[in-house]
Amino acid sequence: MSTNQANFLQSSLGKKLIMGLTGLFLISFLVVHAFINSLIFCNDGGTLFNEGSEFMAHNPVIRVVEIVLFIGIILHIVQALILTLQNNKARPVKYAVNNGKANSKWYSRSMGLLGTLLLMFLIIHLKHFWVVSRFTDEITSGEETMYGEMKEVFENPLVVIIYVLGVISLGYHLLHGFQSAFQTLGLNHPKYTPVIKAIGFWFSIIISLVFAAMPIALYMGWVK
Amino acid sequence: MSGNMNLTLKIWRQKSAKANGQLVTYPVKNISPDMSFLEMFDVLNEELINKGEEPIAFDHDCREGICGACSMFINGQPHGPKKGVTTCQLHMRSFKDGDTIVVEPWRAAAFPVIKDLTVDRAAFDRIIAKGGFISVNTGNAQDANNIPIPKIDADLSFNAAACIGCGACVATCKNSSAMLFVSAKISQLALLPQGQVERIARAKNMVAQMDEEGFGNCTNTGACEVECPKGISLENIARMNREYFMANIKE
């Protein structure tokens, strides 16, 4: 890497660019994830969903994308930590009175907190499904299906509550993050930015509702 | 006079850059609602001087909203609760009789307190010195129609040029980021033909200086745009990002 590129990636704008790009990449993952999981709503006892998850588990392209995905998550987190530490250092003495709500949304000021909650949720979530499907032979041996695993996990009301809270954090994180990523990439236009903001708003709400619907529906027995 | 107000002020007092500061409470009486916020400070300072106390140091110059000197963080907002005004344009009628008003200096590592409410904003000057100008010898002003500039570009450039460098954007930003300021200064020149020669170096050098001064990183909360007394738009930050990315791709 030339010094020029190194300078760029270490600059404030370079780091922001990485935040924005990884953020958008993670959003694209959410779309795929939500789509495959929605197959449980076919109400066919999870047949289609199991086929979908089987495909995702064995397709070599998806295996590679999975690695890229983990790199994306780690980059997003590491950059966020570096930026947050720098930001804290940029104001060593805090205000006695700071009326933040007068000029910005609370969730736009709480991306770090929301992200931390999301990370905690992600660890629980990976332990529930990813670890089981990848590092045990429960599913490959045919002893258990992914759908069966889902039903089992969401029998516990506490787990359902944790998932709903995780999804709420996701919704607010996206509410700011979606449109913020476009601004960071330099895409701000008097005509198109309101469109991006509207898409971001509805995307955040719809994707959160879809994700929240899964544990709730399984717990309530709305899908068989 | 009827309608005059009695207020309680909590003002940050700090003897010097190195000294520890604290909020000190000052009651002020019989304040006219037609006074500007700074005139109220003049009244208080006169009282303090008459009592033999040290007056409160605060920056002020033009007192008509164009110099950007009057940096005061009032009740949690730069230049107080009104939009699109500097402290000198804030009038006491924006407050109610009996109110308590907290006044603090801009808080940022890059804006160290000099004394009381005055901060050192030389960091902005050093950023400008890195490219916020055009080094072309223009000679006499030429005929305006010699360099045709689209109306939309001229307007955008003018809007960016309205920045008075007051630092409210930094003061209100949760990250103490100076990106609204720097982006306005990059934009005003990037949009005009005169700014093209040094365009690449300008974006790179001004951003590098901004980082070196220890300003924080923008998280697009949009607080700066809301608090800016001159209505500088967030579009400028997006433009700065484009300028910087393109500058790094080209060189």
Closest chain B C-alpha to A60 CA, distance in angstroms: 34
What is the Cα–Cα distance from A12 to A90, expressed in whole angstroms? 13
Region A132-139: mean pLDDT is: 80
- Looking at residue A3, its pLDDT comes to 65
Region A97-119: mean pLDDT is: 97
Region A85-98: mean pLDDT is: 97
Domain ranges of chain B: 5-115, 122-250
pLDDT higher at B251 or B130: B130
pLDDT higher at A213 or B137: A213
**What average pLDDT does chain A have?**
93
Is residue A74's pLDDT more than 60?
yes
Asked if B7 and B102 count as a contact pair (C-beta separation under 8 A), the reply is no
B44-83 pLDDT, tens digit per residue, is 999 999 999 999 999 999 999 999 999 999 999 999 999 9
Assign a CATH topology to domain A3-91+104-220: 3 helical TM bundles of succinate and fumarate reductases (1.20.1300)
What is the Cα–Cα distance from A9 to B165, expressed in whole angstroms? 28
Region B229-245: mean pLDDT is: 97
Instruction: Note whether B211 contacts A: Cβ–Cβ < 8 A.
Output: yes
- For the complex shown, is ipTM > 0.95? no
Asked if B116 and B71 count as a contact pair (C-beta separation under 8 A), the reply is no
Instruction: Note whether B174 contacts A: Cβ–Cβ < 8 A.
Output: yes
Instruction: Note whether A2 contacts B: Cβ–Cβ < 8 A.
Output: no
Instruction: Note whether A110 contacts B: Cβ–Cβ < 8 A.
Output: no
pTM of the entire structure?
A: 0.94
Is residue A171's pLDDT more than 70?
yes
Give the CATH number of domain B122-250; options: 1.10.1060.10, 1.10.10.2160, 3.40.50.510, 2.30.29.30: 1.10.1060.10
Region A104-115: mean pLDDT is: 97
- Looking at residue A56, its pLDDT comes to 87
CB contact under 8 A, B217 and A93: no
What is the Cα–Cα distance from A103 to B83, expressed in whole angstroms? 10
Region A12-28: mean pLDDT is: 97
Closest chain A C-alpha to B216 CA, distance in angstroms: 4
Closest chain B C-alpha to A96 CA, distance in angstroms: 8
**What average pLDDT does chain B have?**
96
What are all long-range contacts of B188-193, with beta carbons under 8 Å and residues at least 24 apart?
Answer: B188/B157, B188/B158, B188/B160, B188/B161, B188/B163, B189/B132, B189/B133, B189/B134, B189/B157, B190/B239, B190/B243, B191/B153, B191/B154, B191/B156, B191/B157, B191/B160, B192/B149, B192/B153, B192/B154, B192/B157, B193/B147, B193/B149
Other beta carbons within 10 angstroms of residue A223's beta carbon come to: 19
- Looking at residue B2, its pLDDT comes to 65
- Looking at residue A198, its pLDDT comes to 98
Interface of B with A in 98-117 (CB under 8 A): 102, 104, 107-110
Residue B93 parent element (H or E): none
Closest chain B C-alpha to A197 CA, distance in angstroms: 13
Interface of B with A in 5-44 (CB under 8 A): 10, 12, 23
Region B196-222: mean pLDDT is: 97
Domain ranges of chain A: 3-91+104-220
- Looking at residue A224, its pLDDT comes to 77
Number of Cβ pairs closer than 8 Å across A and B? 134
Question: Residues near A93 by Cβ (< 8 Å), separated by ≥ 6?
Answer: B107
- Looking at residue A109, its pLDDT comes to 97
B148-183 pLDDT, tens digit per residue, is 899 999 999 999 999 999 999 999 999 999 999 999
Is residue B147's pLDDT more than 90?
no
B73-84 pLDDT, tens digit per residue, is 999 999 999 999
- Looking at residue B85, its pLDDT comes to 97
- Going from the C-alpha of A190 to that of each of A105, A108, A114, A197, B240, the distances in angstroms are 21, 21, 29, 12, 16
What is the Cα–Cα distance from B161 to B154, expressed in whole angstroms? 10
What is the Cα–Cα distance from B218 to B183, expressed in whole angstroms? 11
Is residue B120's pLDDT more than 90?
yes
CB contact under 8 A, A17 and B241: yes
Is residue B145's pLDDT more than 90?
no
CB contact under 8 A, B239 and A184: no
CB contact under 8 A, A91 and B239: no
Confirm or reject CATH 3.40.50.620 for domain B5-115, answering yes or no. Answer: no
CB contact under 8 A, B211 and A11: yes
Region A100-109: mean pLDDT is: 97
